[in-house]
Structure 1
Amino acid sequence: MKNPVIEVAHRAAAQLGETPLWDARAQRLRWIDIEKPTLYSLDPETGATDATEQPGTYLGGIALTRSGGVLLARDLTLVTASADGTNARVLAVTPDETHPDTRLNDGRVDCHGQLWIGTMDNELHRSIGGLYRVDPDGTMTRHFSDVVVSNGIAFAPDGRRMWFTDTRRHLTWTITLDETGAPTSRGLLSDFTATADRPDGACVDADGCLWQAVFAGGRIIRYAPDGRIDREIALPVSNPTCLCFGGPDLKTLFVTTATKFLPPDVLAAEPLAGSVLAIQGLGQGLPEHLFDA
């Protein structure tokens, strides 16, 4: 299958661009740079981009809230804020059971208005992270432990399956959910241990296919609903991090990327590293669920 045309939605040199979300209310793409903690938003029609620096060391995740703002993961604290990242109020602090040398990383809201988000080891090799469900009142419930780098949270269109990745274990799981959104079982979707590929951020399209970025692998992949990898698309950068469908018709696949870990010679050869890429003709996405706050 011919590789599609890859365009540049926003040219930058993000250290760790991540977590793109399409905000249909504002018709803007929102994303973050984790390690230069900044919240960005883009109007694809005009190219206008806004940026709001955030306090703390890491900005590990973002979600949209029903009240019209955003939910931000700052280090180990979750805050609700205005859409531009200002006027923040603390919603929750990750429970004391969490190792102090961790941070929040990658989350997504389910169809019940709850946020699922994980923690990760700041040294990238210890299994000291976990996966949490966050209720609208700020209660955080730990569902899985023994995680190195929590990533790739996405939900099936019917809300009865969740995908979850541990990037540094090279594993992605399928988690079955009951009618309330609680996990009932977990099975392995993919194991890249043999190749050391790093599955990263993910999203799901309207056909129930799971799309995933492969960090340090220079490509994105698609899983068919039966779990087969049925498409791979090469990118002009080594480090894609996450992706989402957006645009007025949800038919543009936006891909965030990173310059992190790239030596000078690779950076020189990859002028688009750290930019937000855009690809047409790959399918149609689903609206993001809103956190009930």
Structure 2
Amino acid sequence: MTGARMMTPQVDCIQTVKARLGETPLWCEQTRRLVWIDIEDPHFWQLDPSTGEAFSRAQPCTYLGSQALTRSGKHLVARDLHLVMLDPQTGISELFARVPDERFPATRLNDGRVDRNGRLWIGTMDNGLKDGLGSLYRVDPDGSFAAFYDDVIVSNGIAFDPDGRHMYFTDTRRHLTWKITLDDAGERPVSRAVFADYSAGGERPDGACVDADGCLWQAFFAGGRIVRYTPEGRIDRSIDMPVTNPTCLCFGGPDYKTLFVTTAFKFLSEEQRANEPLAGSVFAISGAGQGVAEHRFDFQ
């Protein structure tokens, strides 16, 4: 799939940090902070873009897979194969649920996102990055799991269109993004169609979000760019990044007109790291469009 490149908007580094695998940026409208994680140096980060103040909390796990906002104000974070409720102010956490029928360290939790009904959709992945050991799960507020699809290598890019009837889901190591139609209740997939196929070139679609126009924004790990797809699957915008590994993105700020992007230095050679001093940092892009507020997990 190809699309016309547009003039790159202003891309600013707003947090200079060496994140090994920065991921899952989310804008919290209650605290007016950007929250994000480092998966492989497990830290939960909070950043105030208006002041530049940033601080982190180390997490007791091997992999901090993703995080989600909740209606209680706590964050639902994925530690290895566990979902934990984390108080971002005190750092106190409590176990919420564990993924059934999976084994660590063969698999772990990775990307996730909350739907409009307050349920979390989250996937698992093969830590060896080569076998279809992962699955997609729906996690309900009572902590129960429903499993869909298997043979997933690296679950990624989970996002929902504005009406909640369609979900985007990516397998980074299969180089595919699907558009999934859900049933009327938004509880179960009805059908799945390939939305974007990069298997021929081996590109790695990574984290994603949907803007107010219903277009899908996606980061390309090892691709040095982020792109916007129309709902029909056509790329209508491509923004070059000053680093090789953009990982995930979200809209935020008071008007949701700032596009925040996390990055990683994982897999970069020593020469690449020397040439990319901002690899692993957090970036903000203005003029890319407007997003919408994240849904919050309806924790019971």
Q: Using structure 1 for the length normalisation, give the TM-score.
A: 0.98
Which runs of 5 or more residues in structure 1 are unaligned? none
In 2, distance between residues paired with 1:290 and 1:158? Answer: 16
Residue 93 of structure 2 is matched in structure 1 by 88
| Secondary structure of 1:238's aligned partner | coil
Aligned partner letter, 2:233? G
Deviations 1:130-180 (A, max 9, x none): 000000011011111010000000000010100000000000000001221
Aligned equivalent of 1:155: 160
User: 1:2 deviation in Å?
Assistant: 1.4
Cross-structure match for 1:232 = 238
Work out which of the residue numbers 39, 49, 56 in structure 2 matches 1:34. Answer: 39
* Equivalent position of 2:29 in the other structure: 24
Aligned to 1:14: 19
Query: Would the aligned equivalents of 2:80 and 2:104 in 1 still touch at CA under 8 Å?
Result: no
For residues 76 and 272 of structure 1, what CA distance do their matches in structure 2 show? 31
What do the CA deviations read for 1:101-120 (whole angstroms, capped 9, x no partner)? Answer: 10000100000100000000
The C-alpha deviation readout for 1:69-121, integer Å capped at 9, x for no partner, is: 10000000001121247221111111025575100001000001000000000
Deviations 1:206-242 (A, max 9, x none): 0000000000000001101221111111111000000
For residue 49 of structure 1, what is the aligned residue in structure 2? 54
Task: Give 1:145's aligned amino acid.
Answer: D
> What is aligned with 2:66?
61
* C-alpha RMSD of the superposition: 1.0
1:119 maps to what in 2?
124
Number of the residue aligned with 1:221:
227
In 2, the alpha carbon distance for the partners of 1:42 and 1:152 equals 22
Percent of counterpart pairs with the same letter? 62
Contact 1:52–1:84 (Cα < 8 Å) also in 2: no
Residues 107 and 133 in structure 2, CA contact (< 8 A), matched pair in contact too: yes
Paired letter, 2:179: T
Q: How far apart in 2 are the matches of 1:231 and 1:90? A: 41
* 1:290 match: 296
Q: Which residue of 1 aligns with 2:3?
A: none
Map of 2:286 onto structure 1: 280
Q: How many residues align?
A: 293
Unaligned runs of 5+ in 2: 1-5
- Alpha-carbon separation, structure 1, partners of 2:233 and 2:96: 36
Amino acid at match of 2:269: P
Alignment TM-score, normalising by the size of structure 2? 0.96
Runs of 4+ in 1 over 3 A off after TM superposition: 97-100
